[in-house]
Structure 1
Amino acid sequence: MSQKIVSQEEWNKALLEFSKRELEFNAAKKRHAEERRKLPWVKVEKEYVFDGENGRESLSDLFQGRSQLIMQHFMFTPEWKEGCSGCSVQAEGVDGARYHFEPKDISFVAVSRASIEKISSFKERMGWKFKWVSSGRSDFNFDFHVSFTKEQLAKGKVFYDFEMRDVDMEDMPGLSVFYKNEKGEIFRTYYGGDDSLLGVCNYLDLTPIGRNEKSYFDWIKHHDKY
């Protein structure tokens, strides 16, 4: 690496200027979060049932007695032997975050089309404790536009991330947020997610070498494969 080397005084000045821009960026992120909370909601009218480790569960059950639910649409098709490595990196930070989610009236669940047996085996391998269910026997993933049939893909563009796009995989990643009111009605309040949910990326971006990637996420592996 070839980097400019300066005196302590010059370094302090450069970091002070940079920290001002970081504060502006953080303030913009807070405003963005406020705008997100003001987005309209859509009611979930259809009943969905999932396969969990202890049997069948409804979407309402996934809230686990809380009013808010964060759901990771975890790429793991019925044919795959293991879950997506990128989705896995995102999931790595969930168990620690759950200590803080639950007092804030938030539950977390991952949802995949793979069988609950495959999910449970992979989850044990990764050492994760968060709730993870299978949507493989329902239309859930297809209705929420994070999975696509071979016929849909063969036609070209599919509806993903709010518009028609070129997609070449049967499963795609995403994150949904839901709210359940006192009547038991469920609303989808948000869909999206970005790199900020991958905690390791936030740390890597602090370092001189950074992510050191030639293409997007080309460095990512399951944590037991490094």
Structure 2
Amino acid sequence: MEPHRIVSREEWLAAQKAHLAEEKALTHARDALAEKRRALPWVKVEKSYIFDTPSGRKTLADLFNGRSQLIVYHFMLGPDWEAGCTGCSFVSDHMDGALMHVEQRDVAYVAVSRAPLAKIEAFKKRMGWHFRWVSSFGSDFNFDHHVSFSPEQRATGKIEYNFQIHETREPGFDSDEMPGVSVFYKDERGDVYHTFSAYGRGVEPLIGAYDLLDITPKGRDETHGMTDWMRHHDRYESAPGHAGASAPRETGHSCH
């Protein structure tokens, strides 16, 4: 951490006020961008998707759970993975507390992964989460939203992700699963529309912990992103019941 200038209270206050003007400009720009996002065109979902859920097989329309808006988090947990992506788990640690408020605004939330439901349920229990999480195993849903990639797709050396074509040799792109968030709307007739998707760092607004870190002197303190320090929350040495340094750090997949 670079040494900082130590100044008088008067000089400190002047600097804070100057910075506040920039903070306000960013807030106004963010509000304007959100308005543009809400004005984006929609596309009707014509394809039928079926998901495995703890209460049986459900359609995409069923996942709205009586609401007109649906947020889908594309959670990286492939059929043969041993555990969920650490980055997606970091995002998901924020969900349960937020959803009690979000659901009051006619919004439903569900995480979707290609792993079989039994594997999802086991990892969800380990993490202590309560949000809905369903399986798209055997469905085209993940592939159609460009967050899962078949061996044949990866063999070409190129994948479509975040509305761009990437070479799999690029760091972070040689994976069968990637993170993202998609939003849908269901009208009174029951028709479903895809309204928005975000991928990669576009998912960061879901991560409140980053907002906390961003106001500290050291910030996120990352060189290569969350992979520098991220673990599943029950694998930190300070986690309750953690065995300390003798407990192995999990290896495997993390969000790009």
The normalised TM-score by structure 2 is 0.86
Aligned match of 2:128? 127
The root-mean-square deviation of aligned C-alpha atoms, in Å, is 1.0
Say yes or no: does 1:170 pair with 2:176: yes
For 1:196, the aligned partner's letter is: P
Aligned match of 1:201? 210
Distance, in Å, in 2 between the alignment partners of 1:223 and 1:210 is 20
Kept in 1, the 8 Å contact 2:181–2:203? The answer is: no
Distance, in Å, in 2 between the alignment partners of 1:110 and 1:28 is 29
CA distances 1:164-223 after superposition (whole Å, capped 9, x unpaired): 112311001110000000010000000003322211111111111111112021221111
2:63 aligned counterpart, secondary structure: helix
After superposition, residues 87-106 of structure 1 pair within 5 angstroms as: 87-106=88-107
Distance, in Å, in 1 between the alignment partners of 2:195 and 2:66 is 18
Aligned match of 1:61? 62
Say yes or no: does 1:143 pair with 2:144: yes
After superposition, residues 78-117 of structure 1 pair within 5 angstroms as: 78-117=79-118
Distance, in Å, in 1 between the alignment partners of 2:133 and 2:58 is 11
Match of 1:215 among 216, 224, 228: 224
For 2:190, the aligned partner's letter is: G
| 115-124 or 62-71: bigger deviation | 115-124
Distance, in Å, in 2 between the alignment partners of 1:30 and 1:119 is 36
Identity rate of aligned residues, in percent?
A: 52
For 2:96, the aligned partner's letter is: D
CA distances 1:28-61 after superposition (whole Å, capped 9, x unpaired): 0000000000100011101111011121111111
Aligned match of 1:187? 193
Residue ranges of structure 1 left out of the alignment (5+ in a row)? none
2:125 aligned counterpart, secondary structure: helix
Residue ranges of structure 2 left out of the alignment (5+ in a row)? 168-172, 237-256
Q: Which runs of 4+ in 1 moved over 3 A?
A: none
